[in-house]
Amino acid sequence: MDMSSRLAVWQELAESCGLTTVQQGLEHVWRLVLLCLICRLCFRLGGVSTVKHVTSVLTGMYGLFLFFELHMLWVLLLSVLCYLVLLLSRHSSSSGLFLSVVILIYLLTGELHLIDMVTWHKIRGSQMVVAMKAISLAFDLDRGTVGTLPSPAEFLGYVLFVGTVVFGPWISFTSYNNTVEGRKLSWSWLRSSSLSLVKSQICLLVSTCIAPYLFPLFIPIYGNTFTQKWLRAYEIAVSFHFSNYFVGHLSEGTCMLAGAGFTEEKENIRWDLSVVKPLSVEMPRSMVLVVTSWNIPMSRWLKKYVFKSAMKLGTFAAILVTYMASALLHGLSFHLGAVLLSLGFITYVEHVLRKKLATIFSACILSRPCTSDCSHQHKKEYWVMLLNLVFSFLAIFHLTYLGSMFDSGNDEQEVEEGYAAIHTIQRWSELNWASHWVVFVSWVFYRLIQ
């Protein structure tokens, strides 16, 4: 394809896909953005705290209705159930664990018996946000981080906060209380939230109109039969990645627009909420950093409330428990469970292997970047940078493999209902289970040099 033909296709793609995607994206979110602004202004105007919490509840409920209509009742039911459990277990020191079990039973029962799969998948994200907030509050009550059980209005205002209830992210109860105090309006607040909203629309464009046509329309690489399936897998993975960045940046924007997502140092307020780090995923140092950069608030939640609690079982067991908890929160989805458990093995093997190699060579080749005062002798030598680059390409290889299943072709029903197990097995079989074999060989190599 010569340059003139490529430019013509680009123009047609911009007109047929780009404009439609932007228009539909704005149509879906503008009312939610308006609700976030209303909530922010109500918090700023002051008044009784109960009125502010009720405002948060009402705007959150209307936001849920805009996206899910009457199916929002399932989210409200979960919220009320969580508060009742907290109320009944307020004198217990294990309310966090008890509430986690109740939420798990509710989610599994709802998905298996009470509601159709398409509807459940639509509300799954909001259910997960409410569950994470309630569980974190329960553990904070157990640990004494939060002194007393909030009032019903305060609790519902927290879990149904309009800035987070539809797209996320998870915020702590303390962060919500700081938000209700109503920090002053500023240009930095407006600039940060608007920038995140713009980023979200750009990521939606890339996911919908660029990534599916990456090779050879945008990058002139053709390849043979073998490489074409990997190029296609990479396109699918990148498209899926940018759909996640779209939701992540959108949640940043709505959260900050509603008044949350800031850090305060003395009199200086920084609106610096970060949900995703696309560059750390697309150009990764390691799979460990990919996992933490994919959804930063959820990664922190899993580390604080799951991983640290499970560390008494051992590092490997704690990692598996953490990924299993994440999989269960996402619902009974075989493909998500398969990806998350595979990630557990990949990140563990990568971590222990690089840690062992860093000790043997006394080099800065750990999964995470070393601090400037680390004890390694070799820090920025060419061979150290080359070895880190090899691990980076290996991470891209794993991401391509894992993301290759998030493609339904022309079957929209499969997307709405969730991918079947046969879809996952078929996609990975086409790629010869390559990533799993690489992880196994890496683990064997680690055991040999241990």
- Which tokens hold the place of 189? 């607040």
For 164, phi then psi, to 5°, come to: -130, -15
> Taking the CA atoms of the chain, what radius of gyration do you get in angstroms?
23
Transcribe 91-141 into DSSP letters.
T-S-HHHHHHHHHHHHHHHIIIIIS-HHHHHHHHHHHHHHHHHHHHHHHHH
Residue 59, classified by CB atoms within 10 Å of its CB into exposed (0-12), middle (13-18) or buried (19+), is: buried
- Calpha distance 394→343 (Å, rounded): 13
Q: Which long-range contacts (CB under 8 A, 24 or more apart) does 220-228 make?
A: 220/1
Catalytic option among 71, 121, 330, 378: 330
Farthest-apart Cα atoms in the chain, separation: 73
Query: Are 61 and 100 within 8 A, CB to CB?
Result: no
- Which tokens hold the place of 348? 């563990």
Active site residue 330: yes
CB atoms inside a 10 Å sphere around CB 122: 15
Helix, strand, coil content of the chain in percent (nearest 5) = 75, 0, 25
Nearest-CA neighbor of 196 among 270, 280, 252, 260? 252
Residue 274, classified by CB atoms within 10 Å of its CB into exposed (0-12), middle (13-18) or buried (19+), is: middle
Q: Tell me which residue has tokens 């940018």.
A: 242
* 263 sits in which H/E element: strand 263-265
For 265, phi then psi, to 5°, come to: -125, 105
- Which tokens hold the place of 105? 């039973």
Q: What single DSSP character describes residue 313? A: G
Nearest-CA neighbor of 430 among 407, 449, 396? 407
What are the C-alpha distances in Å from 380 to residues 284, 364, 376? 18, 8, 10
Calculate ∠ Cα 284-248-258, nearest 5°.
Answer: 145
Catalytic residue list: 330
